[in-house]
Amino acid sequence: MNSLEGLGLKDYPCGAAAAGALLKYLYETQKNSLEHLSAIHPYTTGMFMVIDSSTRRNLELVETMREKQKRGSLLWVLDKTKTAMGARTLRSYVEQPLIECSEIERRYDAIEELNSRVIDREEIREYLHPIHDLERLIGRVTYQTANPRDLIALRNSIKMIAPLKKLLEDFQCPLLQETRENMDSLEDVYELIDASIEEEAPVSVREGGILKNGFREDIDKLREARTNGKTWLADVEKKERDETGIKNLKIKHNKVFGYYLEVTNSYKNLVPERYVRRQTLANAERYITPELKELEDMILGAQDKLVVLEYDYFCEIRSQIAGQVVRIQKTAKALAVLDVLASLAAVAETNHYCRPSLNTSGVIDIQEGRHPVVEKMISHDMFITNDTYLDNEKSRISIITGPNMAGKSTYMRQTALIVMMAQMGSFVPAKSANIGIADRVFTRVGASDDLASGQSTFMVEMNEVANILRSATDKSLLILDEIGRGTSTFDGLSIAWAVVEHISNPKLLGAKTLFATHYHELTELEGKLDNVSNYCIAVKEKGDDIVFLRKIVKGGADKSYGIQVAKLAGVPDSVIERAKEIVEELSANDITEIAKNLTVRKSATQHKKKKAQPDTLDLEQISLFDTVKDDDIIEELRSVDISSMTPLEAMNKLNELQNKVKNRW
């Protein structure tokens, strides 16, 4: 081949180089022709939703964050596949949601038709259940490592294809019809294996017992020689006695001479000329004949010859099957797709999922949405449903406030998961859902130290925020939880405020965002930015206790209920009571009133003109000292000329200022 156009790599020079290097590595390490690698398919980000590693981890798409187990992940809920091929394909669907509406709708149509014909769907799943992993089986065949039982598994799997194709004949949706057409019945492969390989063949290819009786005549003769050798010897012995008249002629065997005819000296005169003397004893002679020699070779070498011959024929059969690798791989992929569609259909019916509608206008409208994983963990259908509405106009950003443990993170994650499920072609856990296609989903939920690279919790958080703000587009969905909580209150609030401003500005980003926060001051943005809306988690207070209602309602929360949550967690009563006293003292210095007076940055142009302003917010010279009223101490500190003081004088001055501060507090 002089061109890469036939492989679809003309426009991917770097990809062609990488693929070539990988193939070279495989050739050198596997020492094989790699015939099962039949095609190269370029992966382009324009075909799939981009999901970074942080989002995969935070949304627990294929494994949980803590235990790294499948149970508790989205894949765990959706995976009801019957084959290993289907399980791998479903995982790729989860990790690579589509962005092409027409292809997503094709999957919806298939799921809908499968659920309209439940009996046929379950029959399909029954036929899929016995099918082994054809992709790995054909890989072993082409690598020449497949054993007889692998071929029996291949045969048993092929046996299920014909009834599956028959079942799919009456289905009308294009994807199921295409899947049926991609299935090859592989009758020739089935017949070859069925006619040759023994049903209870051993695992080893070096022990014999692989091939069926009647498959090869020479194999049958060797097996007969191995089992009927004594009978044959007795027949030869009787025939020689009758022909020669030597009544005491016997066929014997030893390790030195093998099989021989023994004649006593009294009958030596009756020995025919065709007998060849092998050994002379005191009272007898030992002879060999061409017929006995041939029989000896057949009997003594039957087992070894049989093992070698069976192995040679088995390798020949395996090579014939390897020549059909493309057909088998194509069929395996079709079976995997059918398995995934049947699994998604069964899950949708069992869990009461709805078919989403898709749009390209950016609207996300979910009615009575549910978290697909959490609802499976909660018994007795106690999960509280919630609505979500985001668009590119007045409802671009939802600021969500409320106490910890109330369900903010669950609500935000469920929205992201519903969008991703819709774009992977699955029905979704909601009463209805109208999903605007998102090119990317980003999450910033929780953080931890990365000590190996010397990064603190807050640094990790800021790295993730930086990546989101630089990589997201106006078609992305952002899930941001507690931005700025890893630093001081003023710094954290400033960062969170500035992030919301940046996202809300269509000229800078303009992405649809769910923003959970304990900075109640951010609720002031609802009136200052025309695309920000406030929501909170409903809570019912009973004295000092609280009940989480798990319901998202319009408006902002004015309390975080942190002390009540601490009480629920079992923090000692003495700590709880002291915390109540301290919060009452600090509430007098609440910065909410200050936040009401903050000005919103209108545009990047205005920001550049105000060079004296900070990069994020016009804080109007807010200072921590504004809340404690220590203006005279500040003025005195400013008037001190440190350069003209001796070290002792500086220490005395510092001690004096410290005493003044202590006396006031």
Torsion of CA 56, 62, 64, 68, to 10 degrees: -110
Using only the alpha carbons of the chain, give its radius of gyration.
Answer: 40
- Determine the Cα–Cα distance for residues 125 and 76; give it in Å rounded to an integer: 18
Pair of tokens at residue 33: 């022709």
Which token pair is 73?
């992940």
> Counting beta carbons within 10 angstroms of the beta carbon of residue 452, is it exposed (0 to 12), middle (13 to 18) or buried (19 or more)?
exposed
Q: Is the pLDDT of residue 98 over 90?
A: yes
Q: How far apart are CA 34 and CA 223, in angstroms?
A: 36
Q: How confident is the model at residue 606 (pLDDT cuts 50, 70, 90)?
A: very low
Tell me: the pLDDT tens digits for 474-522? 999 999 998 888 787 788 889 999 999 999 999 999 999 999 998 888 9
Residue 600 has pLDDT above 90, yes or no: no
Please tell me the predicted confidence (pLDDT) of residue 291: 87
Beta partners for residue 434, in sequence order = 357, 365
pLDDT for 34 beyond 90: no
* Other C-beta atoms lying within 10 Å of the C-beta of residue 47: 12
Using a pLDDT cut of 70, give the percent of the chain over it. 87
Phi and psi of 487, rounded to 5°?
-135, -165
Q: Write down the pLDDT at residue 604.
A: 44
Rounded to the nearest 10 degrees, the angle between the axes of helix 325-350 and helix 101-116 is: 70
pLDDT, one tens digit per residue, over 40-84 is 777 666 789 989 888 999 999 999 988 899 999 999 999 999 999
Question: Is it the case that residue 583 has pLDDT exceeding 50?
Answer: yes
Distance, CA of 305 to chain centre: 49
- Cβ(534)–Cβ(401) under 8 Å? yes
What confidence score (pLDDT) does residue 412 get? 94
Helix (H) or strand (E) holding 479: strand 477-481
Residue given tokens 């046996």 in the structure block: 159
Strand 276-280 with 284-288, pairing: antiparallel
Q: What is the pLDDT of residue 6?
A: 57
Q: Whole-angstrom distance between the N-terminal and C-terminal Cα of the chain?
A: 84
Higher pLDDT, 385 or 538: 385
Q: pLDDT, tens digit, for every residue of 11-21?
A: 677 777 887 88
Q: What is the mean pLDDT of the chain?
A: 85
Stated pTM of the model: 0.77
| Rounded Cα distance, 365 and 363, in Å | 6
Instruction: Please report, for residues 460, 494, 616, the alpha-carbon distance to residue 448 in angstroms, rounded to integers and kept in the order given.
Output: 7, 21, 25
Write out the E strands in 318-449: 357-359, 364-369, 386-390, 397-401, 432-436, 441-445
Kindly state the helix (H) or strand (E) to which residue 170 belongs, with its residue range. none
The H-assigned helical ranges of 13-83 are: 13-30, 53-58, 74-78
What pLDDT score does 660 carry?
Answer: 77
Around Cβ 179, how many Cβ atoms within 10 Å?
A: 22
Residue 556 pLDDT more than 50? yes
Give 292-310 pLDDT, tens digit per residue: 888 887 777 777 788 889 9
Looking at residue 597, its pLDDT comes to 67
Question: What's the pLDDT at 35?
Answer: 66
Of the candidates 400, 422, 413, the residue with the CA atom closest to the CA atom of residue 442: 413
User: pLDDT band for position 610 (50/70/90)?
Assistant: very low
**Residue 615, pLDDT above cutoff 90:** no
Gap between the Cα atoms of 111 and 72, Å rounded? 24
Alpha helices in 187-216 (DSSP H): 187-196
Task: Specify the higher pLDDT residue, 443 or 257.
Answer: 443
How confident is the model over 615-623, as a mean pLDDT? 40
Distance of CA 547 to the CA centre of its chain: 37
Side chain identity at 648, as an amino acid letter? L
Amino acid at 185: S
